[in-house]
Amino acid sequence: MDKLNNDCLLEIFSNISFLEKIKLELVCKKWYAVLQDCRAYSEATKLDISEFLFVTNSEYYQQDNINFVPLVKGIVQRGGPYVKEITFGYRWLKISQAILDHITEHCSQLKSLNLGCCIINGNLSKLLKKFAPQLEIFTLEESTWVNEDDPHEVSNYLSHFKAIKDLNLRKAKFNLDPIVHLPPYIECIDISASKQITGNALGYFFETHSHLKSFHMSPLPQSLIKSYSYYLQYDEDPEEGGLQTVIDSMKHLINLETLELGFIPHDAYSLRIDPISNLTSLKTLSLEQRKKGNFGSS
């Protein structure tokens, strides 16, 4: 009889929002016990952690509240087996190793992970080892790191992304040359204002990823800015390739619909940009205007 009662309660609870269910856990021991069954949260395929945080503007950057980690772990644990998408809402939340490990342990069906505009106080190796082969969307847009060594671990797992369709590495501080190992059917990638990628690697990426539909590189990666400075000084691209190598290889992007490029200092003699005219599928082209003092500024 208790089993039937529990099943009835689960059926009722399934029609209530995630947040309301958590509140109902406080009503009585019976409801708490029933709601600890993960089936009660089976509708929670997407979690936006920021929606569960009650903070004022004055507390926006105060991430050391002792309740924060237990709160996030509780949310993840309840929805874990059913969650396919997790975001932290671009709120500059500090994501600790304990939170990363909890996601790794409980969210077996994860397809989309958005760590954009987060302060990451941990290492992603364990998480990426498990989820990189199944992730379709992964975002590290403008994320910062407490330990300067931790972001470089991400570079080692770029070759593990087998199902990725949308990858945002804006302002990445690690080497992006391994993007050449991404699956050929990736549709969107953002490497704007990243620190390190060679012209040869990016050129080869274009040659082998002709299914790309959206490419964002505004502002230009720092390494490509330096390569162009080298060209102006020595009248040739560096050995690892430069901006001209990248632009020439864009002719292979026959399915590209959206192209966003940072300011490219050029004239008819130093840099040819005519290969862009071969992108016959292009629907949106955005070129950053020059900014005084530094053509690579954001």
CA–centroid distance for 34 within its chain: 35
Tell me the CATH number at 86.
Answer: 3.80.10.10
Q: Are residues 50 and 142 in the same domain?
A: yes
> Closest Cα partner for 167 from 145, 192, 140?
140
Q: Determine the Cα–Cα distance for residues 43 and 18; give it in Å rounded to an integer.
A: 8
Residue 272 lies in domain = 44-287
pLDDT of residue 294: 47
pTM for the model stands at: 0.85
The 10s digit of each residue's pLDDT in 93-134 is 999 999 999 999 999 999 999 999 999 999 999 999 999 999
Q: Are residues 56 and 111 in the same domain?
A: yes
Q: For residue 294, tell me if it sits in a domain.
A: no
DSSP secondary structure code for residue 178 in this structure: G
Q: For residue 296, tell me if it sits in a domain.
A: no
pLDDT band at 258 (very low <50, low <70, confident <90, very high): very high
Q: Are residues 205 and 227 in the same domain?
A: yes
Q: Determine the Cα–Cα distance for residues 10 and 34; give it in Å rounded to an integer.
A: 7
DSSP secondary structure code for residue 274 in this structure: G
Output the CA–CA distances (angstroms, integers) from residue 49 to 44, 67, 164, 179, 284, in the order listed: 12, 14, 23, 29, 33
Instruction: Determine phi and psi for 258, rounding to 5 degrees.
Output: -130, 125
Q: Determine the Cα–Cα distance for residues 71 and 75; give it in Å rounded to an integer.
A: 6
Q: For residue 226, tell me if it sits in a domain.
A: yes
The domain tally of the chain equals: 2
